[in-house]
Amino acid sequence: SQKIEQNSEALNIQEGKTATLTCNYTNYSPAYLQWYRQDPGRGPVFLLLIRENEKEKRKERLKVTFDTTLKQSLFHITASQPADSATYLCALDYNDYKLSFGAGTTVTVRA
């Protein structure tokens, strides 16, 4: 069956450090992998998309890698700030336009 797994533990890091989140998947052949941010009481907000033929994508302090051989994406938040505290979800496309989401990893950045 299809499965998306993210870091099972919440991530607590010191301000200024790099947070690294993992997204592993099985039985998918995604053309894209996306990362979303979700704050408590709010809907997810799109952050980054990486295509299957791209190895790395950056946006400001965010970096995403995508390894289709390992079936894994890594999401990095560099120079983290308390405002980065949120739950981060990875999502894969399937059946053309639908998205399947991982359970998310909650990041807390301590000042």
Partner 1 sequence: SAVISQKPSRDICQRGTSLTIQCQVDSQVTMMFWYRQQPGQSLTLIATANQGSEATYESGFVIDKFPISRPNLTFSTLTVSNMSPEDSSIYLCSVESRGRPGPDTQYFGPGTRLTVL
Nearer to partner 1, 68 or 100 (CB): 100
Token couple for 84? 């980065």
Q: How far is the CB of 77 from partner 1 (least distance, A)?
A: 19
Spatial CB neighbours of 55, under 8 Å, sequence gap ≥ 6: 65, 66, 67
Least distance between partner 1 and beta carbon 7 (Å): 13
Least distance between partner 1 and beta carbon 103 (Å) = 4
Nearer to partner 1, 11 or 99 (CB): 99
Q: Residue 33 forms beta bridges with which residues? A: 50, 92
36 vs 80 by CB, closer to partner 1: 36
| 3, 26 contact by CB (below 8 A) | yes
User: Interface residues with partner 1 (CB under 8 A)?
Assistant: 4, 32, 34, 41-46, 49, 51, 89, 93, 96-104
Nearer to partner 1, 72 or 93 (CB): 93
Q: Which tokens hold the place of 77?
A: 């938040």
Cβ–Cβ < 8 Å for 75, 23: yes
